[in-house]
Amino acid sequence: MPDPTATPTPNPLRKSTGRVGLWMVGARGSVATTATLGLAAIAGGHTAPTGCVTASEPFTEAALPGFDEIVVGGHDVTDVSMVARAETLVRDGMVAPQLMEAAREAISRADAQVRPGYTTMMPAGMPAESQQAAAERLAHDITSFRDAHELDHVVVVDLTSTEAVPEAAPEFFDAPALREALADPSRAVLPPSSVTAYAAILAGSPYACFTPSAGMNLPVLMEWATEAGIPVAGQDGKTGQTWLRTILAPAFAARGLKVLSWAGANLLGGGDGATLADPVAVQSKLASKTRGLQSLTGSEVTPLHIDNVPDLGNTKVAWDHVHVEGFLGSRLTLQTTWSAYDSMLAAPLVLDLARLLSLAGGAGHAGPVAALGFFFKDPWSSDTHDFAGQTRELTEWVEEASQLVNSNAHHS
């Protein structure tokens, strides 16, 4: 396997300069480990980048870093190593044993770059840590990683478990009040996902929120990121069921058909299933999955429920029942079933975001990158939910951003 600290070999997908860090929050989880294993297998020539949007036309000529130029690190609150997690994926049938063995050394190197994350549940006997101090500690980890590996950018991607939706507090809208609250070790005004988002701002790192948790999506944090010239993208990765919905719903509208109701169910196990069994935590996931569908169909009748089925493990099953009114009041019913390893759907998109947010940083983009709504259920700064429209916007933006990067390189 290639050494991530060595000078990279030429890569035909690379048109930009420098290497990129992929710093995953929740680095030892299934999605992050799958992304790390997949990256190593692609960079080592052991597999094709199937499922990576940026590895296909029209993106192959874009100013993107090569897969062999991405160095992995991250934060986590667990001490279960990425290697141990990857071995679990093999036992569950997700990953072929030969790919695991080919990537083992690279996974181990990546795991050595993982640093303790932030949680509001501090271990007994540990001194209280203000959220400002926590964010500065996390930011120092990111900048140290960047400097040690001589990286142009470190892209931070939040892959942690879904949090409950925070209640809107005055501090979310008032910068001086938030700064005061953050400095108080007796208060925890921000959810953990927003502390890590703040750390990305302090580190000057592009950031993506792949979960429905708050992350950067608080007014003050978004303002600070934009002022700091940091590109950000979110929210909640669009991997399977919602992706299919954003293809089908516009098709009904294009045919002049009226969606009367669109009911759905998710069955999943593993860590996500256990997390989403919490009726409070699941609300943010339900909101992100239904908001775009309601916008596309004009129907408020879009019930969705999520069930924890432990024996499914890492397999996710998604079912939809669509009731449509057609010509002369006739009725049409469509049912779909989607079944896949959820981490396998998410991991290639994480690699895409690392490459594209590096492009955004090189192009000088600040604040939410609306065109990256292609990857999210509830996109920031974009009202476009239909997948065809999102694809056009992404393609146009990548072309424009690549021209900026290449122009800047020509004049430097």
pLDDT digits (tens, 9 = 90+) for 29-44: 999 999 999 999 999 9
Q: Output the CA–CA distances (angstroms, integers) from residue 308 to 212, 255, 352, in the order listed.
A: 18, 36, 29
Using left for φ > 0, alpha for ψ between -120 and 50, and beta otherwise, residue 102 falls in alpha
Query: Phi, psi at residue 116, to the nearest 5°?
Result: -60, 130
The whole-number pLDDT of residue 273 equals 60
The whole-number pLDDT of residue 7 equals 31
Residue 387 has pLDDT above 80, yes or no: yes
In single-letter form, the type of residue at position 176 comes to P
Tokens for 30, please give them. 């299934």
Distance of alpha carbon 129 from alpha carbon 34, whole angstroms: 32
Residue 6 has pLDDT above 80, yes or no: no
Residue 112 has pLDDT above 90, yes or no: yes
Mean pLDDT of 305-327: 90
Please give the order of strands across the beta sheet that includes 331-341. Answer: 304-308, 258-268, 315-325, 331-341
Distance of alpha carbon 150 from alpha carbon 5, whole angstroms: 9
Q: Place 11 in a pLDDT band, splitting at 50, 70 and 90.
A: very low
Cβ neighbours for 98, distance < 8 A, ≥ 6 positions apart: 46
The whole-number pLDDT of residue 372 equals 98
The whole-number pLDDT of residue 117 equals 96
Mean pLDDT of 98-125: 89
The whole-number pLDDT of residue 280 equals 62
Q: What is the pLDDT of residues 134-175, one digit of tens each?
A: 999 999 999 999 999 999 999 999 999 888 878 878 888 899
Question: If you average pLDDT over every residue of the chain, what do you get?
Answer: 89
Distance of alpha carbon 129 from alpha carbon 223, whole angstroms: 25
Residue 9 has pLDDT above 70, yes or no: no
The whole-number pLDDT of residue 15 equals 45
Q: What is the pLDDT of residues 231-285, one digit of tens each?
A: 999 999 999 989 999 999 999 999 999 999 999 998 987 776 666 656 665 676 6
The whole-number pLDDT of residue 120 equals 82
Q: What is the pLDDT of residues 179-207, one digit of tens each?
A: 999 999 988 999 999 999 999 999 999 99
* Structural domains present in the chain: 20-237+344-411 (3.40.50.720), 241-341 (3.30.360.10)
Residue 125 has pLDDT above 80, yes or no: no
**Contact of 43 with 105, CB cutoff 8 Å:** no
Q: Place 12 in a pLDDT band, splitting at 50, 70 and 90.
A: very low
Mean pLDDT of 89-104: 94
